[in-house]
């Protein structure tokens, strides 16, 4: 290993600050300012991973977020472990731990490498084709395939870091702080626009900030020096906020963007305590300037994936920005002038260049002449046909290209090298532009897609707009931004630019080889191991759509989303299919631009904030009294209250019996409550409920059923007339918000002439229901002033009352079939009134019961629960609730639908009671109901909707829906379970006290 | 995500709103007079246009008012918003 790979010329590296880190369990050193990839290269390490399918050795290929190969596992075996991190983006810190992925036992010797030798039998679509048959075997194959698939390891424990979300509103958002982004931000901010400039890197200036060449000058200053002064100037502007390490992930419609701001990933672990790791920025910008630059294209030739093969611009960046040489004996392979800029950077530091291979016959630029002057051998009109070396490139062979570039001619020449820089020109980074809905056009001259139609107030500038030369970039930026922002003063006058490079290029998507294509491995998608051979196979098999080819070959489907190779895939498709480039369009670029961790996406919405829950005013009492809770919508409702190690069944049996034998108490605060006022309130209720409301006297309560316009049951509950023009409606717990929304909708859009006002008061009252034969005695102790006699306070009526001088509403209504009272009191007093009831009921064994007992008690009475015994296909007629549907009313929501040809069918599923042959057999809710198990296929008649063991009836009871069930009373049916059939008889759904004796008993 | 100009509150994020389907479908005054087909037409049949569409929206996490919107479904451009009961400002 050489020690001469680090050159002391970069001001971006702090050589006084040595940083140690571990890679694959070995300790290395780098400097502050290094990325993991630059530090590894400085240590002579190229081989960092194995490819996905063939397990081929892979090295660092780029120096940015487009990296396909150098994806590593960070923080191995800790709670922070993170897979698929691009080594090119990780800034090193003291104590960093990283390791290679997708290899075993080690990256140097990987058993999976056998796949490379098997590659002739692993073509595109191999898994689809091979594991199709027999279909039932998939379950067996899957286990092994899943085991061998996947790159990194996902974390096994909760993420210890903190994340958050931030909203940002700005006049102008500039994405990308390269030279054009910096200029645009300055123009915007100086002209009074509130501007935000973001860049994914830790520094500003893009690739121009390390452009120290004599051949690229602005106003007679070296580009990097000129740009430094610009950055210095804008960092003082008040109107401008700059965020580095901030990567825009998504560009949505109406200039809404999501960006990830990285705050602590560059810090040693012990400095991250209690700090926010990443922020998801939700940016709404009036105007967006996209200056995301471009990505260098690789070249597609046989074995173009060996460690030591890098993009030529990456080699330049490593030497100019990090002071690291990628090799000691370099060869550059190019079809344009970019590689000559790299060559000059290497020459300046005296690093050996063995040769430059150029596809072009004619090269006519200042910079190429300068390179030639330095005695570098340039092979003009040549191409690389093969490379050699297993864990690191050591040789290449080259041949002359034919005139048309379709074949190779002449003899093969071999050249030694330990690093090969490749350059196939540049691809504008139009990902964000297309995400926003922008339409691209194809430019034939240099074979690039560039923005054409902007869907919102935005513009693309610089090389992401297809402006590649320095002169073009600077001049176009000034011109476009002036127009885009409609400003007089551009801040830039008489800019003079010198550039040594030309824009000429000889584009050949798939370079020819002396071998047949079947014998080559020319990688297009490095991460997913998709080769040109795979693309051609897909075309031969009849695929034409780029979206199909992509999915069949997996080209562009890795974590890098094909940032490097997608263009070549398109090029090869159009060449092979004989169509014009651009006609196939491109594949869809989807957010995020680079992967986001789940932590960033959810922000603070974790733990109890993931799905917030609502507590009743009496919640603390339930907790203190050992309640088990059940989620109902967003509410936590007391489910049952186990005593002395009771299980749920035992607790519910005890609670149910106590409620009927003496007294039970239920927290019903979660029921939706809507206050309805206005001179047309009665008329309104007439229209929304199926039954009649005009004649309900003040002080009376009535049960109502609400339908959808399609006739299906939507909600139910008791509504009380509090005054002439004042009602309070109760809804189901889960339906409260939707019912209010539906009522508002009708009032605002269909019946605006009605004088009705709605307010949700669900949270304003605590509701306590006391039931059972002793309920009257208990309530009379709690509210002694209230006359509870049947004459003064009959069933289905309401009274205003006071408890300790606090006003409350008391309704005599019942969901259990028992004599019962519902006390509604301002929420803050809920718990104390509950405790009062408990105290008053002490002598009567008052028993708190939860939702499970409530369900059991109402099922004994055959009362439905909307959403449990109904779904969106049940009419009131199906529920055998014809009694609640008014025949006289002219109209109500859903009325017309009750006699559509479908809703009057006799064989609809209808609600019935079910009694088991063996009274101890309790059915499973959801179980299928059938009549004949001998005739296959077995006809399914319906299913069980509610089922309990009733301690009061001492037998199993159930409700269910059965086709034509209404006319099946007494008929035998079968509940078909996995390993037995249970015989049942269709019964009346009211199992207990059909005559209502308990309700009306004189107490 | 749209930026919606609620006719009562002004510009707000789309996340504050709820879409409510096609606009200008009036509930029949006398549903009982309608045939099954006519009632089904009101109940189930919607245009679902690719292009300019008239829609109902509700500022559900704001003023809770319903209003109408003219939107091009092919590119999500909102052409206009107007109150319930008002005539569409563009054809």
Beta-bridge mates of residue A984: A916, A973
Is A289 in contact with A481 (CB distance < 8 Å)?
A: yes
Q: Do B60 and A741 lie within an 8 Å CB cutoff? A: yes
Sign of CA dihedral B32, B38, B44, B46: negative
- A381: Cβ–Cβ under 8 A, 6 or more apart, which residues? A358, A359, A360, A361, A400, A401
Residues of chain A positioned with their CB less than 8 A from the CB of B84: 748-749, 752
Q: What dihedral do alpha carbons A617, A618, A623, A625 form, nearest 10°?
A: 170
Contacts of A646 (CB under 8 A, 6+ apart): A654
Residue A233 has pLDDT above 50, yes or no: yes
Residue A136: pLDDT over 80: no
Residue A307 has pLDDT above 50, yes or no: yes
Q: How far apart are CA A91 and CA A114, in angstroms?
A: 34
Helix %, strand %, coil % of chain A (to 5): 25, 30, 45
Considering only A54-58, A377-381, A615-619, A670-674, which range has the smallest mean pLDDT?
A54-58
Best probe of the B interface among A167, A252, A254, by most B CBs < 10 A, is: A254
**Residue A464, helix vs strand vs coil:** helix
Residue A128 has pLDDT above 80, yes or no: no
- Check pLDDT > 90 for residue A148: no
For the four alpha carbons of B66, B69, B73 and B75, in that order, the dihedral sign comes to negative
Higher pLDDT, A694 or A146: A694
Nearest CA among A175, A200, A166, A171 for reference residue A282:
A166
Q: Does residue A585 contact residue A87 with C-beta atoms inside 8 Å?
A: no
Q: Residue B14: give its domain's CATH number.
A: 3.30.2270.10
Beta-bridge partner residues of A14: A32
Q: Is A488 exposed, middle or buried (CB count within 10 Å of its CB: 0-12, 13-18, 19+)?
A: exposed
CA distance A684 to A678: 9
Instruction: Give the model's pLDDT for residue A132.
Output: 62
Q: Which of A406, A386, A426, A380 is nearest to A301 (CA)?
A: A386
Do the domains at A515-581 and A672-857 have one common CATH topology? no
| Cβ neighbours around A76 below 10 Å, total | 18
Q: Are A671 and A732 in contact (CB under 8 A)?
A: yes
SS3 state at A137: helix
Q: Which of A659, A565, A617 is nearest to A830 (CA)?
A: A617
pLDDT at A984 (0 to 100): 97
- Collect all residues of chain B within an 8 Å Cβ-Cβ radius of residue A591: none
Is the CB of residue A877 less than 8 Å from the CB of residue A917?
Answer: no
- For residue A115, the model assigns a pLDDT of 75
Neighbours of A3 (CB within 10 A): 8
pLDDT category at A107 given cuts 50, 70, 90 is confident
Q: What is the pLDDT of residue A1?
A: 38
Rounded Cα gap, residues A439 and B67, in angstroms? 32
- pLDDT of A129 > 70? The answer is no
Statement: A515-581 belongs to CATH 3.30.70.20: no
Q: What is the number of domains present in chain B?
A: 1
> Which chain A positions have a beta carbon within 8 Å of B26's beta carbon?
750
Q: Which residue has the tokens 């809804």?
A: A731
Given the candidates 3.40.190.10, 3.50.50.60, 3.90.1300.10, 1.10.10.10, the CATH classification of the domain at A162-294+428-499 is 3.50.50.60
What's the token pair of residue A336? 């344009």
Cβ contacts of A895 on chain B, cutoff 8 Å = 31-32
Q: Identify the CATH class of A672-857.
A: alpha beta
Question: How many residues does the structure list for chain A?
Answer: 1003
The arithmetic mean of pLDDT across residues A247-268, rounded, is 97
**Contact state of A437 with B76 under an 8 Å Cβ cutoff:** yes
Cα B8 versus chain centre, distance:
15
> Does residue A145 register a pLDDT over 70?
no
In angstroms, rounded to a whole number, what is the distance separating the alpha carbons of residues A140 and A618? 53
Contact A966, A875 (CB under 8 A): no
- B2 vs A254, A741, A890: nearest CB: A254
Per-residue pLDDT at A2:
45
Find the domain containing B36 and state its range: 3-83
pLDDT tens for each residue of A497-534: 999 888 899 999 999 999 998 899 999 999 989 999 99
Cβ of B3 within 8 Å of Cβ of A252? The answer is no
Domain covering A896-999 assigned CATH 2.60.120.1360 in the classification:
no
Q: Does domain A1-156 have CATH number 1.20.1290.10?
A: no
DSSP letters along A362-387, please?
----HHHHHHHHTT--EEETEEEEEE
Can you name the residues that pair with A276 across neighbouring β-strands? A162
pLDDT for position A558? 86
pLDDT at A467: 96
Poorest-pLDDT segment among A217-221, A921-925, A936-940, B87-91: B87-91
- The C-alpha angle B27, B30, B33, rounded to 5 degrees, equals 125
pLDDT digits (tens, 9 = 90+) for B12-55: 999 999 999 999 999 999 999 999 999 999 999 999 999 999 99
> Which chain A positions have a beta carbon within 8 Å of B30's beta carbon?
891
- A760-772, pLDDT tens digit by residue? 999 999 999 999 9
Q: Which residues contact A798 (CB under 8 A, 6 or more apart)?
A: A699, A700, A701, A720, A721, A722, A809, A810, A811, A812
Domain locations in chain A? Answer: 1-156, 162-294+428-499, 308-424, 515-581, 672-857, 896-999
Number of Cβ pairs closer than 8 Å across A and B? 52
Per-residue confidence band for A140, with pLDDT thresholds at 50, 70 and 90: low
At A153 the pLDDT is 85
Cα Rg, chain A, nearest whole Å: 38
Structure letter (DSSP) for residue B31: G
**Residue A566 parent element (H or E):** helix A566-577
Burial class (CB in 10 A: 0-12, 13-18, 19+), B88: middle
Q: What is the pLDDT of residue A9?
A: 67
DSSP output for A398-421: EEEEPTTSSSEEEEEEEEE-SEEE
Task: Look at B39 and A741 and tell me if their CB atoms are within 8 Å.
Answer: no
Chain B residues close to A453, C-beta within 8 Å: none
Backbone dihedral angles phi then psi of residue A16, each to the nearest 5 degrees: -85, -5
Query: Which pLDDT band, with edges at 50, 70 and 90, does A141 fall under?
Result: low
* Residue A770, both tokens: 């006391």
Please state, in angstroms and rounded to a whole number, the distance separating the CA atoms of residues A85 and A595. Answer: 9
Tell if the CB–CB gap between B27 and A750 is shorter than 8 Å.
Answer: yes
Interface probe, candidates B31, B81, B83, B86, chain A, greatest A C-beta count within 10 A: B31
Taking CB atoms and an 8 Å limit, are A744 and B66 in contact across chains? Answer: yes
pLDDT tens-digit profile of A310-346? 999 999 999 999 999 999 999 999 999 999 999 999 9
Confidence of residue A101 (pLDDT cuts 50, 70, 90): confident
Question: Given an 8 Å threshold on Cβ–Cβ distance, is B3 in contact with A895?
Answer: no
Say what percent of chain A tops pLDDT 70: 97
Looking at per-residue confidence, does A501 or A817 come out higher? A817
Q: Minimal CA–CA distance to A200: which of A38, A313, A65?
A: A65
Tens-digit pLDDT profile for residues A864-877? 999 999 999 999 99
Contact assignment for B58 to A745 by CB distance below 8 Å: yes
Does the domain at A308-424 match CATH 3.50.50.60? Answer given as yes
Across the interface, of A254, A709, A748, the residue whose CB is closest to B66 is: A748
Dist. CA A903–CA A893, nearest whole Å:
15
Which positions in chain B touch A437 (Cβ < 8 Å)?
75-76
Indicate whether B20 belongs to any domain.
yes
The verdict on ipTM greater than 0.95 is yes
In angstroms, rounded to a whole number, what is the distance separating the alpha carbons of residues A496 and A770?
Answer: 88
Q: Is the pLDDT of residue A144 over 80?
A: no
> Pick from B31, B64, B75: which is nearest to A896 by CB?
B31
Q: Given this model, what pLDDT does residue A59 score?
A: 96
Q: How far apart are CA A565 and CA A644, in angstroms?
A: 68
Token pair recorded at residue A178: 């390269």
Q: Which residue of chain A comes nearest to B29, CA vs CA?
A: A891
């Amino acid at each position: 290993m050489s020690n001469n790979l680090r050159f002391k010329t970069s001001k971006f590296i702090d050589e006084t600050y040595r940083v140690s880190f571990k890679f694959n369990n070995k300790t290395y050193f780098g400097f502050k300012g290094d990325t993991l990839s630059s530090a590894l290269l400085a240590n002579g390490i190229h081989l960092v991973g194995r490819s996905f399918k063939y397990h081929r050795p892979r090295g660092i290929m780029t120096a940015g977020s487009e990296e396909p190969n150098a994806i590593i596992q960070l923080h191995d075996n800790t709670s922070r472990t993170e897979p698929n991190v691009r080594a090119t983006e990780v800034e090193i810190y003291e104590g960093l731990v990283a390791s290679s992925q997708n290899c075993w036992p080690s990256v140097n010797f990987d058993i999976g490498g056998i796949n490379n030798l098997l590659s002739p039998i692993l073509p595109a679509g191999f898994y689809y084709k091979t594991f199709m048959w027999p279909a039932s075997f998939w379950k067996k194959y899957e286990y092994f395939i899943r085991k061998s698939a996947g790159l990194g390891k996902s974390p096994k424990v909760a993420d210890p870091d903190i994340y958050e979300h931030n909203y940002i509103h700005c006049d102008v958002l500039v994405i990308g702080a390269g030279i054009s982004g910096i200029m645009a931000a300055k123009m915007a901010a100086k002209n009074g626009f509130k501007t935000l400039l973001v860049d994914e890197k830790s520094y500003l200036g893009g690739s121009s900030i390390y452009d120290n060449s004599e051949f690229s000058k602005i106003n007679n200053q070296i580009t990097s020096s000129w740009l430094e002064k610009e950055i210095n100037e804008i960092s003082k502007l008040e109107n401008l906020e700059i965020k580095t390490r901030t990567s825009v992930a998504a560009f949505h419609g109406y200039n809404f963007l999501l960006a990830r701001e990285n705050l602590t990933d560059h810090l040693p672990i012990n400095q991250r305590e209690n700090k926010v790791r990443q922020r998801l920025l939700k940016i709404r910008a009036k105007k967006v300037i996209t200056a995301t630059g471009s990505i260098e294209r690789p070249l597609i030739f046989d074995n173009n994936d060996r460690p030591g093969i890098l993009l030529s611009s990456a080699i330049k960046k490593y030497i100019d920005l990090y002071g690291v040489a990628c090799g000691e004996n370099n060869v550059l392979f190019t079809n344009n002038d970019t590689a000559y800029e790299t060559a000059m950077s290497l020459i300046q530091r005296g690093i050996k260049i063995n040769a430059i291979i150029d596809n072009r016959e004619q090269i006519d630029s200042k910079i190429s002449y300068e390179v030639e002057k330095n005695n570098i051998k340039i092979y003009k009109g040549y191409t690389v046909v093969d490379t050699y070396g297993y864990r690191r490139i050591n040789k290449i062979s080259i041949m002359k290209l034919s005139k048309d570039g379709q074949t190779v001619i002449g003899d093969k020449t071999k050249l030694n090298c330990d690093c090969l820089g490749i350059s196939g020109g540049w691809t504008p980074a139009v990902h964000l532009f297309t995400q926003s809905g922008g339409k691209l056009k194809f430019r034939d001259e240099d074979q690039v897609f560039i923005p054409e139609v902007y869907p919102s107030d935005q513009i693309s500038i610089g090389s992401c707009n297809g402006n590649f030369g320095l002169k073009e970039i600077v001049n176009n930026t000034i011109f476009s931004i002036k127009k885009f922002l409609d400003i007089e003063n551009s801040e830039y006058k008489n800019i003079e630019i010198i550039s040594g490079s030309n824009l000429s290029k000889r584009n050949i998507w798939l370079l020819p080889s002396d071998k047949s294509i079947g014998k080559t491995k020319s990688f297009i998608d490095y991460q997913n191991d998709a080769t040109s051979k795979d693309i051609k196979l897909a075309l031969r098999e009849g695929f034409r759509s780029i979206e199909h080819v992509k999915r069949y070959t997996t080209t562009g489907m890795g974590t890098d989303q094909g940032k490097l190779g997608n263009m070549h895939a398109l090029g090869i498709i159009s060449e092979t299919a004989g169509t014009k480039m651009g006609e196939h369009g491109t594949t869809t670029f989807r957010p995020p631009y680079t992967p986001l961790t789940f932590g960033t996406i959810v922000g603070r919405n974790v733990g109890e904030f993931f799905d917030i829950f609502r507590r009743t005013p009496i919640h603390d009492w339930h907790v203190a009294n050992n309640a088990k809770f059940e989620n109902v919508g967003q509410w936590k409702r007391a489910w049952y209250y186990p005593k002395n190690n009771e299980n749920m069944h035992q607790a519910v049996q005890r609670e149910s019996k106590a409620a009927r034998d003496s007294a039970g108490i239920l927290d019903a605060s979660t029921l939706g409550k809507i206050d309805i006022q206005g001179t047309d309130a009665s008329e309104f209720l007439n229209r929304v409920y199926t039954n009649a409301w005009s004649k309900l006297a003040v002080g009376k309560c009535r049960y109502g059923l609400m339908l959808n316009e399609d006739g299906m049951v939507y909600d139910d509950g008791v509504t009380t007339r509090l005054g002439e023009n004042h009602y309070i409606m109760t809804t189901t717990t889960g339906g409260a918000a939707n019912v209010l929304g539906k009522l508002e909708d009708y009032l605002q859009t269909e019946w605006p002439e009605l004088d009705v006002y709605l307010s949700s008061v669900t949270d304003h009252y605590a509701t306590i229901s006391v039931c059972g034969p002793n309920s009257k005695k208990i309530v009379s102790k709690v509210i002694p002033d209230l006359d509870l006699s049947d004459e003064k306070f009959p069933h289905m009526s309401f009274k205003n009352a006071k408890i300790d001088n606090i006003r409350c509403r008391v309704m005599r209504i019942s969901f259990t079939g028992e004599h019962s009272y519902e006390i509604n009191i301002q929420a803050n007093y809920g718990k104390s009134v509950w405790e009062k009831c408990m105290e008053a009921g002490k002598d009567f064994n008052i028993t708190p019961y939860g939702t499970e007992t409530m369900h059991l008690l109402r099922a004994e009475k055959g009362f439905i629960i909307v959403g449990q015994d109904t779904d969106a296909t049940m009419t009131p007629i199906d529920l055998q609730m014809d009694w609640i549907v008014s025949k006289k009313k002219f109209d109500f929501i859903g009325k017309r639908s009750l006699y559509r040809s479908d809703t009057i069918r006799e064989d609809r599923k209808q609600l019935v009671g079910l009694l088991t042959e063996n009274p101890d057999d309790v059915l499973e809710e959801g179980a299928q109901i059938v009549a004949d198990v001998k005739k296959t296929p077995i006809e399914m008649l319906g299913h069980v909707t509610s089922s309990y063991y009733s301690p009061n009836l001492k037998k199993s009871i159930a409700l269910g829906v059965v086709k034509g069930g209404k006319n099946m009373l007494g008929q035998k049916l079968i509940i078909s379970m996995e390993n037995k059939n249970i015989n049942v008889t269709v019964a009346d759904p009211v199992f207990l006290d059909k005559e209502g004796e308990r309700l009306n008993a004189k107490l | 995500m749209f930026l919606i100009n609620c006719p009562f509150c002004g510009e707000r994020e789309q996340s504050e709103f709820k879409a409510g389907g096609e606009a200008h479908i009036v509930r029949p005054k006398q549903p009982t007079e309608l045939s099954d087909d006519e009632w089904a037409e009101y109940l189930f049949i919607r245009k679902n246009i690719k292009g300019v569409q008239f829609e109902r929206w509700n500022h559900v996490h704001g003023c809770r008012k319903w209003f109408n919107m003219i939107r091009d479904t092919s590119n999500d451009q909102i052409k206009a918003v107007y109150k319930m009961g008002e005539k569409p400002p563009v054809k």
